[in-house]
Structure 1
Amino acid sequence: MRLGTRGTQQKEHGFGQVNGHHGEILQGIFPDDAGRLHRGLVTLPCNIVSSTAVFRPAPGNLVTVPDDKLKAAEAARLTLDSLGLHDQGGHLTVESTIPVGLGMGSSTADVVAAIRAVADAHGAALGADEVARLAVRAETASDSIMHGDLAVLFAQREGNVLEHLGPALPPLEVLSVNTAPGALVDTVKQPPADYDEWEIQAFRPLRGMLRRAIRIGDAALLGRVATASARISQRHLPKPAFEEINAIATSAGALGIQVAHSGTVVGLLFDPRNPATVRRVAEAAAKLDDIGLPPALHFRTDAAEVRHVA
């Protein structure tokens, strides 16, 4: 170890890791405490996929990185500058198991992992709020994965938390469907949803319902919020076979559905505490397969292993 700028302890390499997500439970426009409106979202954690970054400091201010990780390189540079290390550079490598272009946080995960790796390489401890601000500067819009499993209403284009909703969402079992295999959505190029006045007003009670669902652990109420948000999203980024998937969820006894508001995945939500869930998941998976959309993933939000459809 050697001493770096601002007295930080520089190591041979730093490590950063963060889990991905599976789109959102709720996304829209919400007022802050002063009544100002902000775009915001509540992320659905997906702990079975992740990005991992390693940063090796080097003299000079150049950050080298594989060509497909340019946002992560920008995040690394911004992190060095925020630490006062303007004359420092290094080499960044990023490995990820998160599918690209589906709305599962692949870009943000690379960026957050890079920020954490640079900070770790220089012995710096960055809080989630500071990581969020750097992530937004690196990629314009982010999500809340730097906050881990905490349930937060997050302003994705500003990098700040609008409301702390609780320590975590109620546990959910998620059957994931990619509604457009082969299609990729670029979050940055995707224009922000142009919500109308009715939709903006609708987000207020949905926020209150979600707050209550998290406070009392009501997964069924959370499912209703997610389904309502998914329906609003359908006007802005339509998912193929949306109605068919929703009908399958209803017939199989799911709590509801949620979507990636800037991607192609849809999640059928089930209560893992219900003994009928194993049968219901298998029934939904079979029906999805019948319409040509076999589930791509099956996971629990409070676990880190892939589950198998029985």
Structure 2
Amino acid sequence: MKIGLGSCPSTCGELVQGYMGENECISSYCIDLYSNAKIVEKRNRKKSNRFNKTKSMKAVELVFDYFGIPKLELLDISLFIKSNIPVGKGMASSTADIGASVMAALDYLDKDLSEDEISKLVAKIEPTDSIFYKKICVFDPIKGKKIEELGALPYDEVLILEPYRRINTVKIRQKSDYYTNLIENKSFTTNSFNLLAEGIRNEDMKKVRRACENSALANEKIKTTPYLREIIKISKKYNAGFVNISHTGTVVGILVSDKTNKDGMIDEIRNSDISKIYKKQYIRKIVEGGLRKGWQNDGLHKKSDENRRKEF
């Protein structure tokens, strides 16, 4: 039986998001939570397809169309998706599902597309993310276009603060004042993107911290992040790298290194009112971005995942 497998990593929000000049842009980093997609050749067309994600199936259709494969052949496949990425938290769960499905389709067809081609394809479905690129970059989510490649972060782990609350990213973007606020924030976010680029390229993490925190604070006009200033203060107290948020979601990330007093920081957060909002606090590894052919088994089963992610 013919099979195609693909996977895509998650994000922990964004480093910076907003306008850079005349373009709406984002810049993200990836973590070791994954969406996995499998395309299986069916033996019987009468058997119903299990398309459990409409947008993901649309992505598969676009891949088939890109290579001139008749839509009738879509009746010969079933698409399955399995993910351990939290939904509605600003961790690119939808984008990861779509990306994994694209890679599964490419694997099934024994074809390849570049990062740029995949991004432009996915942008036809919904505003997308920079996670299809291996390196951190400045990215236009509307056009699906890489503006500038930046490099990598010198951190291996992130402490994720995750509340129960979910946010629909599409609905935030549809609010009448969303783009008005983005435009009002343009000078802050343009400066933040410039600081981020300088910081990553010159390994100046003070500039990266300023970029991420300035972008997060400017975003308070669009969506409030509870206890943001308190979290920033605690991160500095325990020598964490920096704080970043999901600009249209609910998670907060605190980048940590071997210089960070992780135990002290986690204890203070757990014993403060912050933990009343952010019920889950866990550490994840930072990984390279980009789509993968194959299946990421790590962490997809609940029991092993709970042990792996070090939830406190």
TM-score (norm 1): 0.83
How many angstroms apart in 2 are the aligned matches of 1:211 and 1:263? 23
Tell me which residue corresponds to 1:177.
161
Q: Does 1:123 align with 2:106?
A: no
| Native 8 Å contact 2:281 2:311 kept in 1 | no
| Native 8 Å contact 1:285 1:309 kept in 2 | no
Q: Deviations over 1:105-148 (max 9, x none)?
A: 1100000000111111111101111111121112x211011113
Give the letter aligned to residue 226 of structure 1.
C
Aligned pairs (5 A) from 1:16-55: 16-31=6-21, 37-46=22-31, 48-55=32-39
- From 271, 285, 297, the equivalent of 2:266 is 285
**CA-atom RMSD, angstroms?**
2.5
Q: Does 1:233 align with 2:214?
A: no
Q: Deviations over 1:177-218 (max 9, x none)?
A: 12x31x211222222443365521222322221111111222
Q: Deviations over 1:242-263 (max 9, x none)?
A: 2332232233232331001111
| Native 8 Å contact 1:102 1:264 kept in 2 | yes
Tell me which residue corresponds to 2:172.
190
Rate the CA distance shift 1:287–1:273 in 2: closer, same or farther, 3 A. closer
| Native 8 Å contact 2:14 2:29 kept in 1 | yes
Q: 1:30: Cα distance to partner? A: 1.3
Aligned pairs (5 A) from 1:205-220: 205-220=191-206
SS in structure 2 of the partner of residue 267 of structure 1: strand
Tell me which residue corresponds to 2:230.
244
Aligned pairs (5 A) from 1:70-149: 70-86=54-70, 87-89=72-74, 90-138=77-125, 140-148=126-134
Deviates more, 1:207-216 or 1:294-303: 294-303
How many angstroms apart in 1 are the aligned matches of 2:133 and 2:15? 16
- From 134, 150, 170, the equivalent of 1:165 is 150
How many angstroms apart in 2 are the aligned matches of 1:207 and 1:29? 9
Q: Deviations over 1:221-266 (max 9, x none)?
A: 2122111111111221111222332232233232331001111001
Larger fraction in strand = 1
Rate the CA distance shift 1:198–1:188 in 2: closer, same or farther, 3 A. closer
| Native 8 Å contact 1:63 1:92 kept in 2 | no
SS in structure 1 of the partner of residue 2 of structure 2: coil
Rate the CA distance shift 1:285–1:101 in 2: closer, same or farther, 3 A. same
- By relative contact order (CA 8 Å, sep 6+), the higher-ranking structure is 2
How many angstroms apart in 1 are the aligned matches of 2:218 and 2:161? 19
| Native 8 Å contact 1:282 1:309 kept in 2 | no
| Native 8 Å contact 2:29 2:131 kept in 1 | no
Q: Deviations over 1:273-306 (max 9, x none)?
A: 53xx2xx221121111112235532123248995
TM-score (norm 2): 0.82
Tell me which residue corresponds to 1:3.
none
Aligned pairs (5 A) from 1:59-74: 64-67=49-52, 69-74=53-58
| Native 8 Å contact 1:288 1:295 kept in 2 | no
Structure 1 portions without partners, runs of 5+: 1-10, 32-36
Rate the CA distance shift 1:106–1:132 in 2: closer, same or farther, 3 A. same
How many angstroms apart in 2 are the aligned matches of 1:281 and 1:14? 40
SS in structure 1 of the partner of residue 181 of structure 2: coil
Structure 2 portions without partners, runs of 5+: 289-297, 300-307
Rate the CA distance shift 1:227–1:66 in 2: closer, same or farther, 3 A. same
Tell me which residue corresponds to 2:244.
258
How many pairs were matched up? 282
Q: Does 1:301 align with 2:291?
A: no
| Native 8 Å contact 1:51 1:96 kept in 2 | yes
